[in-house]
Amino acid sequence: MKAFDAIIIGAGVIGCSISLALARRGIKTLNVDALPSAGYGSTSHSSAIVRPFYSHETSCALAHEARHRWLGWREFLDYAPGPIARYVETGGLVLIRDGTDHQYENNLAMLDNVGVEFQRLSPQEIEKKYPGISLRAYGPPRRQHEEGFGEPVAGEITGGIFIPASGYVSDPQLAASNLQVAAEHEGSTFSFNVRVTDILRGGGAISGVQLGDGDIICAPTVVNAAGPHSSVINDLAGITSSLNIRTKPHRHEVAYLKAPPGYRQNAGFIVDLDAGVYQRPDSADMLIGSADPDCDPPEIVDPDDYNDQLTAQWTAQAVRAAQRWPELGIENNARGTVGLYDVSDDWIPIYDRTELPGFYLAIGTSGNQFKNAPVVGDLMAAIIENRDHDSAPSLLNLKSLKRSVNLSFYSRNRDIQETASVMA
C-alpha cells in the first residue's frame, strides 16, 4: 500500500500544473491518469488560444496573469531539459457585427479594469491587417441543411476589438509534458494507463483511491482534475448531489485547412460570432473551431464511448470559415481533431473544495481554461491550504498584475453566471 500527501486524478495540463504547484510547496503528490502520457486527452485537442477577453473581471485577470507565465515559460518551469512549448503572441481580433456593440460592453470594461490594452479597428483597418477577409454579414449562424446557410444577409462587420496581448501555444500536449517533467524534478510521481475505480473514505473524510489493478493509494487529499471524466469521479466520491454547478463532456471538432492566399500567420486569431467560428494560424494551416452558436446543439457524450472521427460538423465549420475567407479552399480529405470539453453549466470552471473533507475540484475547464493552466496550480494550492475556504474564501495573488482575486468566483455553490458559451 502506497501513501502520498495528495493524489491528483488526471494528468492533463491542469492536473500537471496542480502537481507542480503542490510539489513546490513540499507536498508529495501522485498523478493518476487512464491515458498513456501527460496531456494525451483533452489537452492534446485544445486550440491553445491565450486571450483575456472575458465578461468577468476574475476571468480576465487570471488569463492575463497566465499570459505573463506563458511569455516566460522556461523561467516558470525552472527545470526544462528538453524541448518546450512555444507561446506565439500574435494578438487576437473579435469581429463586431453591426448593431451588436452593446454585447461587448462588459468585456471592454473588464479589459480596462485589469489594465489590458485593446484597439478598436475600423473595417478598413481590419482589411489591411487581414488581407483577403470578407466583412459581409452571414449571421445568425445556421445548420448546413437550413435555408440560407452560407448566404450573405443584410448588414456587415462594422469593426473589431484587437487585443495585442493574446496569442496561442504551439503544442498543448508538450506544455503538459513540460509541467510533468518540472513536477517530477520537484518530487512528484506520475502513474499512467490506470483508472481510479473508487474514492476511499475514513472517518468522514478522504483517505485515498482504489485503482483498476486493485492497488490502494492512501492520501488525505484528492483532487479531481479528470477532465471529461470529472462527473464520473464525482459520482464515485458521492458528492454530485451537493453541487450547485454540474459538468458534462461535450464532443467538439476542430478543422484544419490550408490557409488562403494572403493569410498572415502573424496577424492573430479571429473570433467570429457572426459566422459561429474562431480561427487561428497553425504553420501553413488555418485552424477552425466552433464558437458554439445556438444552432448547434451541444453533443453530450459518454467519455469512454464516442465518435472520434470527423463528421459533417467539420464541413459546417469549414464552410462557415469560408464565408469570411472567400479564397479558403475546402479540401476533399477532412483534416482536424476530435476531442472532449469538460463543460460546466455556465462554461466557468469549478475550482473548489467539496462537502467531503479532503476532496477538491478542478473541473469544468471546457475549451477555454488551457490558457490559465500556469496559474491554476497556485490557485488550487491556495484553496487546499485554506481549510476554511467556504466561509473565508481564498485570495490568489497575481504577481505580474500586482493584484489579488477572490477565488469564490469559481465556487461549486455559485449561481450560474451569464456567459457567452465558450467565450465565457
Tens of pLDDT along 170-199? 999 999 999 999 999 999 999 999 999 999
Question: Which CATH number goes with the domain that contains 52?
Answer: 3.50.50.60
Give the tens place of pLDDT for each residue, 236-256: 999 999 999 999 999 999 999
387: pLDDT strictly greater than 70:
yes
CA distance 284 to 260: 9
**Are 43 and 122 part of one and the same domain?**
no
**What's the mean pLDDT in 104-110?**
96
Task: Please report, rounded to a whole number, the percentage of residues in the chain having pLDDT higher than 90.
Answer: 94
The count of domains in the chain is 2
CA distance 165 to 168: 10
Q: Residue holding cell 459566422?
A: 275
**Are 206 and 223 part of one and the same domain?**
yes
**Are 157 and 260 part of one and the same domain?**
yes
E strand spans, 89-215 = 92-97, 119-121, 136-137, 153-163, 167-169, 189-191, 196-202, 205-211
**Are 318 and 265 part of one and the same domain?**
yes
Give the tens place of pLDDT for each residue, 109-146: 999 999 999 999 999 999 999 999 999 999 999 998 89
Q: Predicted confidence band at 423 (pLDDT cuts at 50, 70, 90)?
A: low
**Are 138 and 209 part of one and the same domain?**
no
**Residue 12 near residue 42 (C-beta atoms within 8 A):** yes
Q: Predicted confidence band at 155 (pLDDT cuts at 50, 70, 90)?
A: very high
Examine the fold and report which residue of 274, 309, 340 is the final residue of a domain before the chain moves on.
Answer: 340
**Are 142 and 255 part of one and the same domain?**
yes
Helix (H) or strand (E) holding 206: strand 205-211
CA distance 142 to 147: 8
The pLDDT assigned to 265 comes to 87
The pLDDT assigned to 262 comes to 86
The pLDDT assigned to 250 comes to 97
Residue 324, domain extent: 90-166+248-340
Whether pTM exceeds 0.85 = yes
57: pLDDT strictly greater than 90:
yes
**Are 252 and 329 part of one and the same domain?**
yes
Examine the fold and report which residue of 340, 367, 395 is the final residue of a domain before the chain moves on.
Answer: 340
Examine the fold and report which residue of 312, 340, 368 is the final residue of a domain before the chain moves on.
Answer: 340
Q: Predicted confidence band at 234 (pLDDT cuts at 50, 70, 90)?
A: very high
**Are 222 and 112 part of one and the same domain?**
no
